[in-house]
Amino acid sequence: MADWGEFGFIEALRRRLPPASGALRIGVGDDASWWRPESGNGILTTTDMLVAGIHFDLSYTSAADLGYKSLAVNLSDLAAMGGRPACAYLSLALPAQLQKVWLDEYIAAFLQLAEAHNVQLAGGDTVAASELVISITLNGLVSEGNPVLRSGAEIGDDIYVSGSIGDSFLGLQLLQERIAGSVLDSSKIAFLQARHLRPSPRVGLGCQLAASGRVSAMLDISDGMVADLGHLLAASGGLGAELDRAKIPLSQAALKLVTAGHLDCRDLLTGGEDYELLFTANPDARAEIAEIAISAEVAVTRIGRITDEKTILMLVNGVTEELSGRRGYDHFHD
Amino acid sequence: MADWGEFGFIEALRRRLPPASGALRIGVGDDASWWRPESGNGILTTTDMLVAGIHFDLSYTSAADLGYKSLAVNLSDLAAMGGRPACAYLSLALPAQLQKVWLDEYIAAFLQLAEAHNVQLAGGDTVAASELVISITLNGLVSEGNPVLRSGAEIGDDIYVSGSIGDSFLGLQLLQERIAGSVLDSSKIAFLQARHLRPSPRVGLGCQLAASGRVSAMLDISDGMVADLGHLLAASGGLGAELDRAKIPLSQAALKLVTAGHLDCRDLLTGGEDYELLFTANPDARAEIAEIAISAEVAVTRIGRITDEKTILMLVNGVTEELSGRRGYDHFHD
């Protein structure tokens, strides 16, 4: 299977599948599927599988953190389509040595986040296994109008991101003790670690952006900002982008680490697991998007624009760099 | 986790969950959830997780058999609610040593069965893991009217099963070489093995039964006929049943093995994995149910009736035996 990476398998499968048809409007390939079987706006569905030791490390991820995050990443996928989450299905493969208290804490945190987003746990399965595997499926509704796909960006559109970029990557480096946090006070360390362990799915923002009808393309950042921008550009027909590094939103904690020379700012843009929304819109929608950001109480920053150059360029201290080929961006030309 | 068996965890979880409310009509506890978010009859969803070495044995289960069966068991769950399947989500945890050809054959068989039931593969995930884990979620529509729950049986109702009982158990015994098939010709051996490896989900029958509005309770037989009848009786408020062993439908191959003294007929009733439908209906619906069976081209047999005795009795050669407490029936009094 070495030659069938995660991406390769999905791509191979997509090529084999007939195109989505009938009531299934969007199948494999976006953040969620869109199924419109009856009257109404239809059902969005996303699914995700997590394996211990690959997607999470139990040495620094508590049961409660995992219960939260395993649902949060699915909420983020629905948010990226503008979906309002509704019903979750949780299947767990549980190793025999797992303690009941671990499972209790996992479920409690899962249900707490579910309740905060009006999600009901509607089904699931538990099985014995030699390693911990978590599989979650989430059904939601298209809040209003059509969902926002990753394929609608147009030349000249503005590019936006929510929140701040790179915190999750830094939090992970701190948890893994790969970088020293000595320049940070303990609250900033806790902030970065929480951004990795407890990302905030931008559900309200995603729903309001979709409902506005002004967003041309959207996805959530899981593979890294540059890689996911590449996916959006590829899905939109092979477009390009120009970014301004000075505009990319960094948290105070991230800025402090970059300023102290602990790492290159560009690592933050490829780190992944931000679970922020990356989206595009026509420049005439700027005022409306600013209003939505205020209403959703999430920072939204314009970081660049869509071009027809088939590459991602970034303006850094007055010099334009080409980002294509950086880690996480390999699939852009697939 | 030894004290938290599969059933115990689901039960514990169900007790912790708020009751299904709002658009979620039926949550954890039936064959599928029922979600009715908009106008129309609503969405049925079922999910299932399978682990190599526990739910299937790769030494006698081919990739194609597994591709077929892993979808079939979910189709069977939807059929048991009267649902018409539509969109499947397939997540696979794949060990590194798995060959690409194995995965190709798995997917091909999965998609072939999907196409036969007008199911589209609408999403999924693939991850690396040390053991093979398959997680499938299936969304479908309530075909007409309301879905059939397992909780609606009433005293005096007839009890029916589709197809024949025990073939899958016998097929498994043959595959595991636990019984000798010497009294059977090769086609009967192949029949029984196929009944285990390639069960026929009774989708058409389930939809027609639900649409008739004449069925009071229904589920599919996965744990064994006696155990699943116990679940239906418990869900229906603690009722009982009287069965007539002479009426329980056995295939010619099964009858031959029983007649040859290779096993006790009662083992067939507790073996499990039949994926036949078990349902109840008022006696005045007999003619209509017979017509539906003909139309769906599936044998349907009346095997007993619902009582208020809180136990399962079976008439065997003129003598009444009590089945409560037999293997697979332990949860009846939960």
* Average pLDDT of the residues of chain A: 89
Radius of gyration of chain B (CA): 20
Is A1's CB within 8 Å of B141's CB?
no
DSSP 8-state symbol, A60:
T
User: Over the stretch B180-215, which tens digit does the pLDDT of each residue have?
Assistant: 888 899 999 999 999 999 999 999 999 999 999 999
Is A135's CB within 8 Å of B2's CB?
no
Residue A62 pLDDT: 97
Q: What residue spans in chain B does CATH classification 3.90.650.10 cover?
A: 158-333
Nearest to B24 among A96, A122, A128 (CB): A122
Residue B307 pLDDT: 97
Which chain B residues are Cβ-neighbours of A122 within 8 angstroms? 20, 24, 27-28, 33, 35, 45
Interface test with B, best of A11, A110, A121, A149 (most B CBs within 10 A): A121
Top-confidence residue, B139 or B25: B139
Radius of gyration of chain A (CA): 20
Please report which confidence band the pLDDT of residue B2 belongs to, taking 50, 70 and 90 as the band edges. Answer: very low
Please report which confidence band the pLDDT of residue A294 belongs to, taking 50, 70 and 90 as the band edges. Answer: very high
Which chain B residues are Cβ-neighbours of A35 within 8 angstroms? 86-87, 122, 139
Residue for token digits 């920072």?
A299
Residue A8 pLDDT: 60
Q: What residue spans in chain B does CATH classification 3.30.1330.10 cover?
A: 6-142
Q: How far is CA B7 from CA A125, A127, B121, B329, in A?
A: 9, 10, 29, 12
Q: What residue spans in chain A does CATH classification 3.30.1330.10 cover?
A: 17-142
In this structure, the number of other CB atoms found within 10 A of the CB of residue A186 comes to 8
Which pair of tokens denotes residue A318?
């007055």
Residue A332 pLDDT: 36
Kindly give, in sequence order, each residue whose CB lies less than 8 Å from that of residue B113, ignoring residues fewer than 6 positions away: B67, B68, B71, B72, B75, B119
Please report which confidence band the pLDDT of residue A263 belongs to, taking 50, 70 and 90 as the band edges. Answer: confident
Q: Does CATH number 1.10.30.50 belong to domain A17-142?
A: no
Which chain B residues are Cβ-neighbours of A129 within 8 angstroms? 51, 54, 131, 133
Length of chain A: 334
Q: Are A289 and A148 in contact (CB under 8 A)?
A: no
* Average pLDDT of the residues of chain B: 89
Mean pLDDT of A103-116: 94
Residue A327 pLDDT: 42
Is A135's CB within 8 Å of B48's CB?
no
Please report which confidence band the pLDDT of residue B1 belongs to, taking 50, 70 and 90 as the band edges. Answer: very low
φ and ψ of B49, to 5 deg? -120, 135
Residue A100 pLDDT: 87
Is B10's CB within 8 Å of A139's CB?
no
Residue A39 pLDDT: 67
Q: Is A307 helix (H, G, I), strand (E, B) or coil?
A: strand
Name the residue in chain A with its Cα closest to that of B123. A28
User: A61: part of which helix (H) or strand (E)?
Assistant: none
Mean pLDDT of B4-18: 65
Which chain A residues are Cβ-neighbours of B150 within 8 angstroms? none
* Whether residue B89 has pLDDT greater than 50: yes
CA B207 to chain centre: 15
Nearest to A6 among B17, B127, B135 (CB): B127
Phi-psi region of A96 (alpha: psi -120 to 50; beta: other; left: phi over 0): alpha
Least-confidence region, from A40-49, A54-63, B15-24: B15-24
Return contacts of B325-330, CB within 8 angstroms, 24+ apart.
B326/B226, B326/B266, B326/B270, B327/B224, B327/B227, B327/B270, B328/B223, B328/B224, B328/B226, B328/B227, B328/B230, B328/B270, B328/B272, B329/B224, B329/B226, B329/B227, B329/B230, B329/B270, B330/B227
User: Over the stretch A186-243, which tens digit does the pLDDT of each residue have?
Assistant: 999 999 999 999 999 999 999 999 999 999 999 999 999 999 999 999 999 999 999 9
Residue among A14, A6, A54, A9 at smallest CA distance from B100: A9
Which pair of tokens denotes residue A261?
């020379």
Paired sense of beta strands B158-162 and B277-281, if any:
antiparallel
User: Over the stretch B213-268, which tens digit does the pLDDT of each residue have?
Assistant: 999 999 999 999 999 999 999 999 999 999 999 999 999 999 999 888 878 888 89
Please state the pTM of the whole predicted model.
Answer: 0.91
Residue B244 pLDDT: 96
Mean pLDDT of A55-81: 96
Its CATH architecture, for the domain A158-333, is Alpha-Beta Complex (3.90)
Residue among A276, A262, A250 at smallest CA distance from A177: A262
* Whether residue A4 has pLDDT greater than 50: no
Which CATH number is associated with domain B6-142? 3.30.1330.10
Q: Among the residues of B80-202, which ranges form H helices? A: 100-116, 167-175, 186-197
Give the integer Cα–Cα distance in Å for B268 and B263. Answer: 9
Nearest to A127 among B40, B43, B49 (CB): B49
Q: Is A90 helix (H, G, I), strand (E, B) or coil?
A: strand
Kindly give, in sequence order, each residue whose CB lies less than 8 Å from that of residue B160, ignoring residues fewer than 6 positions away: B277, B278, B279, B280, B281, B289, B300, B301, B302, B303
Which chain A residues are Cβ-neighbours of B131 within 8 angstroms? 129-131
